[in-house]
Copies of this chain bind each other. A is one copy, B any other.
Amino acid sequence: MNAQVKYQLSENDIPADWYNLQADLPQPLPPVLHPGTGRPIGPDDLAPLFPMELIAQEVSTERAIEIPAPVRDIYRLWRPTPLYRARRLEKLLDTPARIYYKYEGVSPTGSHKPNTAVAQAFYNAQAGVKRIATETGAGQWGSSLAFAATLFDIEVQVFMVRVSFDQKPYRKAMMETYGAHCIASPSDQTQAGRAALKQNPNSSGSLGIAISEAVEQAAQRDDTKYALGSVLNHVLMHQSVIGVEALRQFEMADDYPDIVVGCTGGGSNFAGIAFPFIGKQLRDGALRGDGKTLRTVAVEPAACPSLTRGQYAYDFGDTAKLTPLVKMHTLGSAFVPSGFHAGGLRYHGMAPLVSHAVQLGLVEPVAYTQPECFEAAVQFARAESIVPAPEASHAVKGAVVEALKCKQEGAAKCILFNLCGHGHFDMQAYTDHFAGRLPPERYDEGEAAMALAGLPTVGT
């Protein structure tokens, strides 16, 4: 058996700043547009939804934004997270590649989501906010915001996508343990929810619908703001602590990745690990330049392939078309993906920053099916002892594919992937996998074509 290798930073190594990729982009991000006027929106348009500090972060092009002391203080509960060398997996795959993984499952809720939940709760508390509405897919985000908000005495209302609400009752229980309220979406609590139920009383829900419900409530209630667990620039920036730590851990390891892999639903955990590396290479001028080029691979589910089969266009972030328009890879805001287990990846769109990076050739997207991801996850669990969340299994699969390519090519490359969460809440998915009973994950091209036909015409 190979020796376990863990690169553990000390508390003092928790990054002082978040990293903002917008500072290093060769071309700026396309603006966010008002759906009515087709003109770029301003801070005031977002003020009903977010505290001003987060709106400022959303449009900032500063490279480093200081992490407030109270946020770093809470980060210390579980950060810095470990970086592991997957020696036993390497041996199992018989690959010359060196495989590393950053493990975000050590947080109280078991995923990377608290990195931004704590920050968002802090800025909301600072602005005097007492109630936040949000959506959640698999429940990772909802439980993370619940955990963070309770530390700042903020009440939380979570709209949880119906299929995950039914598949993962433990996540709801966790949110309630932290004192939050959680209901299934579509719900009868909002116009958007009622409309979705009218169209399909048995709707399995989608992140798009759940976002509509939460945004609607925040827009209509003076006492309520909105929080999003992915997609937005400031959320991706908060997740940069992952990659900034990893950069330092690679110094400890005296190594450097050739390939960085993450899974993409809304894009935040991928951005969290990849952007600090992309930014460094952009600043060093080496990206796609010499032998030491960096490849970053965004792995999405074959059943919700916004990056690989969607359209790069302006679209709504939600189903009821309540949000501003953002330019991203989209399957159409009306697209409802099938109810596969990786609920955190069931989003019709993509973080605009990730889409932009794909357009600039900085990120390679790829899609895999559930069974191949679970197969890789089981292989990983037996070798490396951690059971990946279904979402994270996509990153595992991406890393395994790259490691096997290295084996074919005899190339001793260095692969880093983000193990963004453990699967302790998702074990039904493994049971279904072993029993050959994974839920259908058909990507309906016809449905996507119809949804894409309904794209807004502004901004094109």
Contacts and interface: CB of A to CB of B under 8 A. Distances in A.
Contact of A11 (B6, B173, B178): B6
Residue with the highest number of chain B CB atoms closer than 10 Å, among A88, A106, A152, A176: A176
Contacts of A339: none
Interface in A54-74: 70, 73-74
Interface string A381-412: 11001110000000000000000000000000
A151 interface: yes
Contact of A147 (B84, B108, B385): B385
Contacts of A106: 106
A202 interface: no
B378 A169 contact: no
Contact of A151 (B152, B176, B385): B385
A458 B208 CA distance: 70
A337 to B, nearest CB: 24
A173 B3 contact: no
Contact of A176 (B10, B176, B434): B434
Nearest to A431: B173
Residue with the highest number of chain B CB atoms closer than 10 Å, among A76, A108, A152, A173: A173
Interface string A353-389: 0000000000000000000000000100110011100
Residue with the highest number of chain B CB atoms closer than 10 Å, among A1, A70, A378, A425: A1
Given A74-B4, A77-B6, A387 B427 contact: no
Contacts of A3: 73
Interface in A93-128: 106, 108, 110
Contacts of A434: 173, 176
Contacts of A70: 1
Contacts of A177: 378, 381-382, 387, 427, 430
A179 interface: yes
A198 interface: no
A169 B427 contact: yes
A220 interface: no
B11 A76 contact: no
Contacts of A428: 169-170, 173
A8 interface: yes
Interface in A123-152: 147, 150-152
B178 A4 contact: no
Given A6-B11, A8-B11, A1 B378 contact: no
Given A106-B106, A151-B1, A424-B424, A77 B173 contact: no
Contacts of A152: 1
User: Which 5 pairs of residues, A with B, have the shortest CB-CB distance?
Assistant: A170-B427, A173-B427, A424-B424, A108-B385, A173-B431
